[in-house]
Amino acid sequence: MKDVITSPKLHDCRDAFVAVLERLGADNPKIVAVCNDSVGSSKLNGFKSKWPERLVNVGIAEQAMVGVGAGLANGGLLPFVCGASCFLTGRSLEQIKADIAYSNANVKLIGISSGMAYGELGPTHHSIEDFAWTRVLPNLPVIAPCDSVETAAAVEWAAHYDGPVFLRLSRVGVPDLLPAGHRFELGKANLLRDGDTITLIANGTLTHRMLKAADLLAEQGVEARVLNMATVRPIDVEAVVSAARETGAILTAEEHSTFGGLGSAIAEVVVAEAPVPMKVLGVPGIFAPTGSAEFLLDEFGMSPAAITEAAIALIARKSFRA
């Protein structure tokens, strides 16, 4: 009898988000939700059915949505402002800057369906600039959990954090990588696999792909360190410097443009503190075309096999440099 190979169960991180939101909402009547005609896609139907008076649907008016969130926070409530990340960040960036970050308002911005999760809807719906737009703003932590466990932990943390937060969630299913009961720490990377030849760093939907690539590298005798870098701002400087000094090469991958995102944030640390060969995988400064998120990630060189090839090439650069 042949062994049956089963794939790991995939989880929609939005489910983890709303499960924690409803649990916290049951104990804290100050928690409210604000959305932009996105009750269904934000999976807020359960919250709405429990507390209809605590959900504000502003319609397709993202600038107003962020302003309403800021006003509710100023009134002593705890708003979770939910919308497609491409529209939440793109249409209302000025309001995020002035009403949320500059005012240090206690608003939790939840960018759903981030990256290329709306793949078939094309470039207008891809959210591959949101790291770049948000991580430059003072006072605003930028977080992209790698799985449902980290999503739940990050929502719990955000609800108790006094200040604004941008939480970037995908609708694309991912396997759980972190142990049950994981506690989120702002600005702290998670070591998922140790190694001394190269470090692979990712967050969100790319973390599990990096782990698969590490398995492929191990088959070639290469031990790769894998870091889950959920916090894009503030970046874990200590983990990046240690990775550079101890493994000598860093490869990053993200569901974002190669300009201004996770890779850029890490490169800023590397060039200042511990220069080593480095490569950033992502969307190479173009408008990503139409296609499923999985297809597009593969198309832009972020399949586990392609990541493995990029890692081998980067290791060769390290050897040449030595």
27 and 165 in one domain?
A: yes
Mean pLDDT on 214-234: 98
Number of helices (H), then strands (E), belonging to the chain: the values are 12, 14
Q: What is the CATH number of the domain that holds 250?
A: 3.40.50.920
Rounded CA separation 264/179 (Å): 29
50 and 129 in one domain?
A: yes
243 and 284 in one domain?
A: yes
Range of the domain at 201: 190-321
Within a domain: 310: yes
Render pLDDT for 90-148 as a digit per residue (tens, 0 to 9). 999 999 999 999 999 999 999 999 999 999 999 999 999 999 999 999 999 999 999 99
Within a domain: 185: no
200 and 152 in one domain?
A: no
Render pLDDT for 273-286 as a digit per residue (tens, 0 to 9). 999 999 999 999 99
Render pLDDT for 256-266 as a digit per residue (tens, 0 to 9). 999 999 999 99
Q: How confident is the model at residue 320 (pLDDT cuts 50, 70, 90)?
A: low
Q: How confident is the model at residue 7 (pLDDT cuts 50, 70, 90)?
A: confident
| Residues recognised as catalytic | 62
126 and 248 in one domain?
A: no
Within a domain: 132: yes
pLDDT at 170: 94
- Helix ranges (H only) for 1-52 are 13-27, 45-50
Render pLDDT for 175-196 as a digit per residue (tens, 0 to 9). 999 999 999 999 999 999 999 9
Phi-psi region of 57 (alpha: psi -120 to 50; beta: other; left: phi over 0): beta
pTM: 0.95
The structural domain count of the chain equals 2
